[in-house]
Amino acid sequence: SLYSTEPPKTTRQPLTVELNTADTITLQLLRGIGPAYARRIVRYRDRLGGFTHTDQLLEVYGFTPGLLALVAPSLTLDTGAVRRLPVNTIPLKQLVRHPYVEYYQARDIVALRNSGVRFRTADDLRAVPSMADSTLQKLLPYIDFSDAPPADTASVQ
């Protein structure tokens, strides 16, 4: 009938959110993610340089395996957006800001660099005395082995 009380039949598209580019508002569209989690995710993503896999959400304060299982089907991941650390040129202060790098590891990397070592491969980083293999495996997707100095976005020529 023309005046039906039933809601119109619509097929809802499943929600997909790109984890490395979503803002806090978009993240809150995910079931189980409120403003606090959304802020924590974005803050951690910024410190990390982007996510390389969704399991890294478990490193966000308070994030549980159950919540990950709930949101994972709705997530996509563009790893092309991940910021890399120019390991041969990055200053100590910037290197220690990365969640996977402890101060003493950054200090050892810079000390080796200052002694003339240039890091070209993962094996070269294994020579860092304080670098555990488990840390190196997590860190590798964020490492840029080139010698180019980091782009200075503050100065415009």
SS (H, E, C) 55-88: HHHHHCCCCCHHHHHHHHHHEECCHHHCCCEECC
Q: Is the pTM of this model over 0.85?
A: no
pLDDT at 144: 95
User: Measured between alpha carbons, how far is 102 from 97 in angstroms, rounded to an integer?
Assistant: 9
Residue among 59, 78, 80, 79 nearest 68 (CA): 59
User: Measured between alpha carbons, how far is 33 from 41 in angstroms, rounded to an integer?
Assistant: 10
User: Measured between alpha carbons, how far is 133 from 140 in angstroms, rounded to an integer?
Assistant: 10
In the 8-state DSSP scheme, what is residue 85?
Answer: E
Q: Are strands 17-18 and 75-76 parallel, antiparallel or unpaired?
A: parallel
pLDDT at 157: 36
Average pLDDT by stretches of 10, the chain with 157 residues: 61 80 96 96 97 96 96 94 94 96 96 94 92 93 79 41
pLDDT at 77: 94
